[in-house]
Structure 1
Amino acid sequence: MRLLAVCLLWLTAASALAATPRIGMVTMQPGEIFFERFGHDAIVVVDPQTGAATSYNFGFFDPGEPDFIARFVRGDMRYRLAALPFEQDLAMYREEGRGVSVQWLDLDDAQARGLADALAENALPEHAHYRYQYFDDNCSTRVRDAIDRALGGGLRRQIEGRSHGATYRSEAVRLASPAWWMWLGFDIGLGPAADQPLPVWAESYVPMRLAAALREVKNTQGRPLVREEQELLPHRIAPEPTEAPVRLWPWALAGLAIGVGAIWLGGRRTRMLVTLALPLWTLAGALGALMLFIWLGTDHRYGWANHNLLLLNPLCWLLLPGAWRVLRGRAAGPWFARILGAIVLLAVIALFAYWLPVYPQRNAHWVALLLPAHAGLWLALRKR
């Protein structure tokens, strides 16, 4: 009887072990389309009985929703978690030539089953949707948080206190750099909230950063959390960009050249100078109006209180009527020089704001470019 009881206990334990799902975090390298620049990740759960692998992917959205564009503009996007066969999820990345790797996690039985059950519950239609935030709540942070809950908060405890000095801006600009317009949009449009140094926990909004963080984490038994790392698909397109420091001197030289050129041209060809300045003032006013709208009219909080509003602002639009009068051979009007002076003064304030330790913004290169440009235009045209 004792032998029979021991055999039953062994069979029960073996059955429980066999029923433990295998959990892995899958990291997809950046692609070439703008919404693929940040890479992607998912959690794969392998059924121990059938061997079927299910991908839990938090990156699905429906651009066909009637209010999709309005939500995007307001910063109120809806994403959802989808559970789909892992091979089906890999198919797109294989076609695009994007590298995919998996980190198999060393979780105990209860943690693995709990994580698998929580993901299955989360993927139900009534629970799948969530409010997407680019930095704070995206496909990567959802994966990070799911693993952290399985570890009882152990992931956050281990990586919250460390930092590589990265910021939301530095990571966004780095990954967007292959697309100049995307890089430009992030660098101009992000405000000072995007320039706070990030702990590794927050830095892991980028999937590749999360994968790197997991390599340094221990599980609840003190062993490395990543039991095994495996490449599933080779990366056949351009690699992930590295961070390139912004050199200030080319921006400053360009700004000085524009300012000095404006002064020289203003004394000889005033109409030509105004013709060249018109697109600058029009664009500066449009960018300023957009930044003001992001601040006052949307939930894109990392674009709020943007110091670049002091360099590119809607005041520039008030110069356009006077500019048209100059092109027609008439005086620009009494307010023209005052508005030019106000724009220069705001640019000077932007320079002082950069050096203030309270709520700083890393926009010295834009100050170096635009302050001398505005000053040169003011010196050249103030007598008009």
Structure 2
Amino acid sequence: MKKILLFLLISLTVKAQLSSKAEVVLVTVAPGKELHSAFGHTILWVNDPLNGIDRAYSFGTFDFKTENFYLKFLMGTLPYTISVHSMQDEFNYNAQYEKRGMIAQKLQLDSLQKNAIFQALETNLLPENREYAYKFFYDNCSTRIRDVIERNAPGKYRWIQNPSLEGKSYRDWMNKYLAPNSWVTLGMNLALGIPSNVKATASQACYLPDNLASATNLAKGLSANPVTLFDAEVSEEAGFDFTGPYVILSVLIVLVGLATYKKRFSYAADVALFSIIGLLAWFIFFLGTATNHEVMAWNPASLMLFPLNFPLVIWFAKDPLKWKKYLQIISVLCVIGLIWSGIQFAPMVLVGLPIFIRVCYLSFIKK
């Protein structure tokens, strides 16, 4: 019964028309502290005081109670939905609770365009339309709202007038929001494949909410001057993290290099090193080949870390002479992977250097 009533309520709302006093407002929420909020958020607010309409639409909503949540998230099959709240609720949560900045841009649209956007959003709320396959770079909370505006107010965005949003890859834009000396940043970059290195157009760069706000502001005649709804305190920049990957991996490289030079790197140490990095390599390979995350496909980190080293290390570390050809081939692949990965994101080289040192040494053992 509740589902029937909800369906009827949404159906009636879809047919409703906005008054001449209605406003459509793009609201941009600043990045938060948690990873899932690190890139900001976009809300499209339809406000019509004459008809009592106050609806703030958000895409990219998910439910932790979804069956097999973590497995679906890992596989890229977790259903995401559109949701709607009052603007006051959005403000209370994002500004008052999470202390994230919020800006609003009132869109300069005619009545037909406002109604078209409103109807499109309400249609999207219907049960059969709510869910969609989330794609971080291509189909998220920001791109969905960009598309709603473009489809229902065509020509408002003139992308060729946005050179400041061009020239960076998807990966480059992502890394602007991440601390460089961070295990999370390193892990995310290791997981991304060649598709993330494609240069994003101005429109594609709007997968980030801040970029959509910038494009909206630069689009001639599309929006009024941005209004600050909440000005969050500027957080202090964190000092250098001595437990971050820069230090830990550099120390590991030095230790592996010294032990190799002095011929004190034991069989057990080889097995441990190649097993740990090999498991990481298999996980990266799995993400790129067995999930719906297409941006993780064709990953040069697989060349650098080479999954087959685990479990083959059990044999080639014990008798490297018998595995000489294999080790020499892996050395060449590792060099290619190191250079390729380093071009994408330089700190990734730190992960590959320890095994590169060992593979090169083992491949040149003569007796």
The TM-score bracket by the shorter chain reads 0.7 to 0.9
What pairs up with 1:190-205 in 2 under 5 angstroms?
190-205=192-207
Q: Find the residue that maps to 2:82 and give its secondary structure.
A: strand
User: Separation in 1 of the partners of 2:345 and 2:190?
Assistant: 8
Per the alignment, residue 62 of structure 2 pairs with: 61
CA shift in 2, pair 1:88/1:250, >3 Å: closer
Per the alignment, residue 299 of structure 1 pairs with: 292
Per the alignment, residue 332 of structure 1 pairs with: 319
Say yes or no: does 1:343 pair with 2:330. yes
The amino acid of 2:225's aligned partner reads E
Point out the more displaced range, 125-134 or 368-377.
368-377
**Alpha-carbon deviations, 1:347-380, whole Å to 9, x = none?**
133367679xxxxx62555457635751455326
User: Separation in 2 of the partners of 1:123 and 1:199?
Assistant: 29
What pairs up with 1:1-384 in 2 under 5 angstroms?
18-50=19-51, 52-93=53-94, 94-155=96-157, 158=160, 163-177=165-179, 180-218=182-220, 224-236=221-233, 238=235, 257=254, 260-266=257-263, 269-271=264-266, 274-322=267-315, 332=319, 334-350=321-337, 362-363=344-345, 366-367=348-349, 370=352, 374-379=356-361, 382-383=365-366
CA shift in 2, pair 1:262/1:173, >3 Å: farther
**Alpha-carbon deviations, 1:144-193, whole Å to 9, x = none?**
11111121243265568874312111122232327823211221111111
Tell me the CA shift for residue 280 of structure 1. Answer: 2.7
How many residues in Structure 1 have an aligned counterpart in Structure 2? 342
Per the alignment, residue 241 of structure 2 pairs with: none
Coordinate RMSD, CA, aligned: 3.4
Q: Find the residue that maps to 1:130 and give its secondary structure.
A: strand
Q: Contact between 2:166 and 2:201, CA under 8 Å: does it hold in 1?
A: yes
Q: Contact between 2:162 and 2:215, CA under 8 Å: does it hold in 1?
A: no
Q: Contact between 1:103 and 1:227, CA under 8 Å: does it hold in 2?
A: yes
TM, length-normalised to structure 1: 0.78
Tell me the CA shift for residue 213 of structure 1. Answer: 0.9
Q: Contact between 1:28 and 1:99, CA under 8 Å: does it hold in 2?
A: yes
Q: Find the residue that maps to 2:150 and give its secondary structure.
A: helix
Q: Contact between 1:263 and 1:380, CA under 8 Å: does it hold in 2?
A: no
The amino acid of 2:204's aligned partner reads A
The amino acid of 1:102's aligned partner reads A
Per the alignment, residue 12 of structure 2 pairs with: none
User: Separation in 2 of the partners of 1:111 and 1:278?
Assistant: 64
Tell me the CA shift for residue 63 of structure 1. Answer: 1.9
Q: Find the residue that maps to 1:65 and give its secondary structure.
A: coil
Identify unmatched segments of 5+ residues in structure 1: 1-15, 219-223, 242-248, 356-360
User: Separation in 1 of the partners of 2:136 and 2:184?
Assistant: 14
User: Sequence identity of aligned pairs in percent?
Assistant: 27
User: Separation in 1 of the partners of 2:21 and 2:219?
Assistant: 22
Per the alignment, residue 13 of structure 1 pairs with: none
Q: Contact between 1:135 and 1:205, CA under 8 Å: does it hold in 2?
A: yes
User: Separation in 2 of the partners of 1:319 and 1:120?
Assistant: 56
Larger radius of gyration between Structure 1 and Structure 2: 1
Tell me the CA shift for residue 299 of structure 1. Answer: 1.5
CA shift in 2, pair 1:74/1:48, >3 Å: same
Identify unmatched segments of 5+ residues in structure 2: 1-16, 239-245
Tell me the CA shift for residue 251 of structure 1. Answer: 12
CA shift in 2, pair 1:167/1:237, >3 Å: same
The amino acid of 1:113's aligned partner reads N
User: Separation in 2 of the partners of 1:196 and 1:303?
Assistant: 13
CA shift in 2, pair 1:346/1:251, >3 Å: farther
CA shift in 2, pair 1:320/1:351, >3 Å: closer
User: Separation in 2 of the partners of 1:252 and 1:63?
Assistant: 34
Q: Contact between 1:140 and 1:204, CA under 8 Å: does it hold in 2?
A: yes
